[in-house]
Structure 1
Amino acid sequence: MTDTPQGALDELATHARRGFPQLLAARDRTEHDLDDLRRRLRGTPCDPASSVVMMGSWGRRERTTGSDDDYLVLVDGERPDDGAPAVEPQVSRLDGLLGMGEAKPGTQGIFGQQVFVGPMVRHIGLEEDGNANLTQRMLLLLESVPVVGREAYRRSLEQVVDGYLAGEAKDYRPPRFLLNDLIRYWRTICVDFAGKARADEQKWGMRNAKLRLNRKLLFAGGLIPVLHCHLHRRDEQRAFLLDALQAPPTDRLAHAFLRHDAIDEGVRALGAYDRWLGLLGDPEMRAHLNGLTRESAAGDPRFREVRRLAKEFEQGLLALLFETNLSPLAREFVLF
């Protein structure tokens, strides 16, 4: 095994009887749509410090029918003073250019924003590190892909990684500052889900399914590279993380299953996730899940199938973390 996860999903798929047809088709679809999006944005004014970054299913390379167009205009630097020239591209310029169908950015104030990397990094863990700042920073690390301004995007990503490692990294140890913030983000996702469910049960079925599968994939896909920092000296960890986090989360997980001789567990886990992605790409299934409340989901046969796939996925992840040679590391750094 190489130290880079790029291409690991294809390798693991050779060990699966049916492969991972939904995941690989979604990856091809995403790459095609990214190329189309880059053509759409060609000629859009863009400052050298700016990048247009797609997140969510774009960043995971998992676009299906009905996927949202979650994006940020990411600016490498500080927010300009009042009266300074506007930073390009302005979000208003992207209206109509980022729409692939009817999908729009999420409505929680996270996406469709111009975000400056300086405050994103400077406020890590402080009072100003609100839900939006934490979410934007974590999604930049875990599931993002640039369509405009690749060099500015790379500099921004480097600043975030440096913000976590500066003064914290140790030889052959996972960086605890990054690890703890990653765990904080996962717990924030869980708490936010419960809060939204209490306030409004609309779309409970879809939100619950994504929490069990897509969000858990996101967390695990970040956790594994952070734990794998124990294989590197502190002066190697920056380059290792930057390389690993550029691969889709499914590649990161597939690489870990292969590396830790848990191929059967990996095939079952990502096979379950593959089947979920097929369900997610079915418009009728999406509409059905969006219409389920907590009460109606309890006896719903299609939601029971989603729960079964989620359990199979979770069991594979647990086996990777606690039944391979990752176990001592996971027990020391994840549990306490």
Structure 2
Amino acid sequence: MPYIETAKQNSVKKVEELRRVLKNDDTTFTIVVGGSLARGEASDESDIDYFFFGDDEASVERAKDFLRSKEIEIAAIVGKAPSADGAFGSAACETRQALITDIGGNNDDNAKITRRILFLLEGSWLTSPDTFKRYRRAVLSRYVSEHVEPHHLTRFLLNDVIRYYRTICVDFEFKTVEKNKEWGLRYIKLRYSRQFLYFSGIVAIAQTVGLSPLAKVERLIELFDLTPIERVRTICGTSADEALRLYDNFLQKISSGATRTELNTVGQDRQTHTEDFKDLQSKGRLFTAELSKILDGTYGPQHPIHKALVF
């Protein structure tokens, strides 16, 4: 699958360059890359999406200052400067304690749940790998209580992954209808990369059945260290081949700047639908059907993941 492999090589190269530029000795914070770079799916059209966590507020402030000092070097690697409203805004950072508290509470807004779940499902370290691993273990230990029985799923985590996915689906409607954001490219990404990331989280959580609470955490750490594509391949084997072939086609299409520009002209009105959009939309339906087939084939009808996704 040539475009999956090309995207992986491109992503690895850029992440390695970012790690070199951002290397420092401060282990009280970690800078985390997300998005297509972290998933191993980046093309030359991809930008950088990152956030950061610190041991305390002072650590967070040091991370902000450090990133500001590296802005030009980062832009030279990824092709554009990081957004001042993203990486340097308050919504893109928090302390370790804030990361694991108030989950589901009044302050657990869209930005916070997105940051937390993406940290688990696709995040990759740019600085302080040991700190990154420490924070990820802390989050997973918060989700997996010591009282969870071996035959149970990690339901707390599963419910939050489901909540995240449904949140971005609803958020898509809000952004494109009420905020008048571009519709076409967002729609295609929702049908492919967002859905696939969600699926990779579901199958990882399904793997925790039959394990002790500690073993559940260790298994999740092991699986979340993989990219979503690697994760699904590891768990589902060759049964994922057709879905990945369709995903390879998606990556090929959105690696083209011209196709991205074209998709951004597409709206809900069918008269605006281009041939590329209609092809991706049609294959997107097949992609969803394949993911459903893989889930059924990997886990028998008695596996608790099926009921848990409904109730």
On the 8 A contact 1:203/1:291 being kept in 2, the answer is yes
2:68 aligned residue (67, 92, 116): 92
Provide the rounded CA distance (Å) in 1 between the counterparts of 2:139 and 2:231: 19
Q: In the alignment, does 2:292 pair up with 1:318?
A: yes
More relative contact order, 1 or 2 (CA 8 Å, 6+ apart): 1
Q: In the alignment, does 2:307 pair up with 1:335?
A: no
- 2:149 partner letter: K
Provide the rounded CA distance (Å) in 1 between the counterparts of 2:88 and 2:168: 16
After superposition, the C-alpha distances for 1:157-206 in whole angstroms (9 at most, x for unaligned) are 11110110134532122111001001000000100001111124432000
Q: 1:303 to 1:32 in 2, by over 3 A?
A: same
Q: 1:199 to 1:232 in 2, by over 3 A?
A: same
Provide the rounded CA distance (Å) in 1 between the counterparts of 2:301 and 2:180: 37
- Matching of residues 84-123 of structure 1 within 5 Å: 86-88=61-63, 90=65, 91-99=67-75, 100-105=77-82, 109=86, 113-123=92-102
Q: 1:243 to 1:40 in 2, by over 3 A?
A: same
On the 8 A contact 1:170/1:234 being kept in 2, the answer is yes
Q: 1:219 to 1:291 in 2, by over 3 A?
A: same
Q: In the alignment, does 2:2 pair up with 1:21?
A: yes
Q: What residue is the counterpart of 1:10 in the other structure?
A: none
Q: What residue is the counterpart of 1:40 in the other structure?
A: 21
Q: In the alignment, does 2:229 pair up with 1:229?
A: no
Query: Which consecutive unaligned segments of at least 5 residues does structure 1 have?
Result: 1-19
Q: What residue is the counterpart of 2:142 in the other structure?
A: 163
Provide the rounded CA distance (Å) in 1 between the counterparts of 2:177 and 2:254: 24
- Matching of residues 300-315 of structure 1 within 5 Å: 300-315=274-289
On the 8 A contact 2:153/2:205 being kept in 1, the answer is yes
Counterpart secondary structure, 1:73: strand
Q: 1:111 to 1:215 in 2, by over 3 A?
A: farther
- 2:307 partner letter: E
- Matching of residues 37-76 of structure 1 within 5 Å: 37-42=18-23, 47-75=26-54
Q: CA deviation at 1:254?
A: 1.5
- 1:271 partner letter: R
TM-score by length of 1: 0.84
Q: 1:334 to 1:86 in 2, by over 3 A?
A: closer
Counterpart secondary structure, 1:74: strand
Q: What residue is the counterpart of 1:254 in the other structure?
A: 233
After superposition, the C-alpha distances for 1:88-128 in whole angstroms (9 at most, x for unaligned) are 45242232232234345468747763322211211111111
| Matched residues, number | 306
Q: What residue is the counterpart of 2:157 in the other structure?
A: 178
Q: CA deviation at 1:331?
A: 2.1
On the 8 A contact 1:34/1:147 being kept in 2, the answer is yes
Q: In the alignment, does 2:258 pair up with 1:277?
A: no
Q: CA deviation at 1:66?
A: 1.3
Provide the identity percentage: 25
Provide the rounded CA distance (Å) in 2 between the counterparts of 1:116 and 1:241: 22
Query: Which consecutive unaligned segments of at least 5 residues does structure 2 have?
Result: none
Q: CA deviation at 1:24?
A: 1.1
TM-score by length of 2: 0.91
Counterpart secondary structure, 1:284: helix
Counterpart secondary structure, 2:208: helix
Q: In the alignment, does 2:57 pair up with 1:79?
A: yes
